[in-house]
Amino acid sequence: MPETVAIAADHGGFDLKAVLLHELRALGYDAIDLGTATMDAVDYPDFAAALARAVADGKARQGVLICGTGIGMSIAANRHSGIRAALCHDNTTARLARQHNDANVLVLGGRILGVEAAKDCLRTFLATDFEGGRHARRVAKLS
């Protein structure tokens, strides 16, 4: 059964969301698109909340959030219980977000990152396992 990944964006991340939704499906994931559905201006906390709920409830194993910078989405997502959202900008931050932080939400800046860098982040984030060990103790202290 394919793994489920939820994705959501505000208007600042709308274009990149379309690209990454396509990429997720091409990679064989069952992708849930939680909006936004148009370029009309919306409030990023609403979309972060919807995605956080999907991940925390187990409807999606992981999530991807995109706003203009990624900053608003990461602040908003990390206010939700059970969410470890990591704002990443390259392969290294995406890899370490998984290996060290067990991040369950990848956050990207749609107006900051190029499309290829964003796809790299997505692929790396999804393909990398948590290392556990000393990192598990630290992650446990987050909650």
Shortest reach from residue 67's CB to ligand RB5, in Å: 3
Query: Given the structure tokens 């990207």, which residue do they identify?
Result: 108
Could you tell me if 67 and 9 are in contact, meaning their C-beta atoms sit under 8 angstroms apart?
Answer: yes
Using the rule CB under 6 A, is 112 a contact of ligand RB5? no
Does 72 interact with ligand RB5 (rule: CB under 6 A)?
yes
Pattern of binders to ligand RB5 over 9-28, x per CB under 6 A?
Answer: -x-x----------------
Which CB sits closer to ligand RB5, 54 or 70?
70
36 is a contact residue toward ligand RB5 (CB under 6 A): no
Single out the residue of 6, 52, 64, 67 in contact with ligand RB5 (rule: CB under 6 A): 67
Cα–Cα distance for residue pair 10/140, rounded to 1 Å:
30
Question: Does residue number 71 form part of the binding site for ligand RB5 (CB under 6 A)?
Answer: yes
Spatial CA neighbour of 77 closest among 91, 90, 67, 92: 67
What gap in Å lies between CA 53 and CA 118, rounded to an integer? 24
Torsion of the alpha carbons at 29, 103, 13 and 33, rounded to the nearest 10: 30
Binding status of residue 48 toward ligand RB5 by CB under 6 A: no
Q: Footprint of ligand RB5 on this chain (CB under 6 A)?
A: 10, 12, 44, 67-69, 71-72
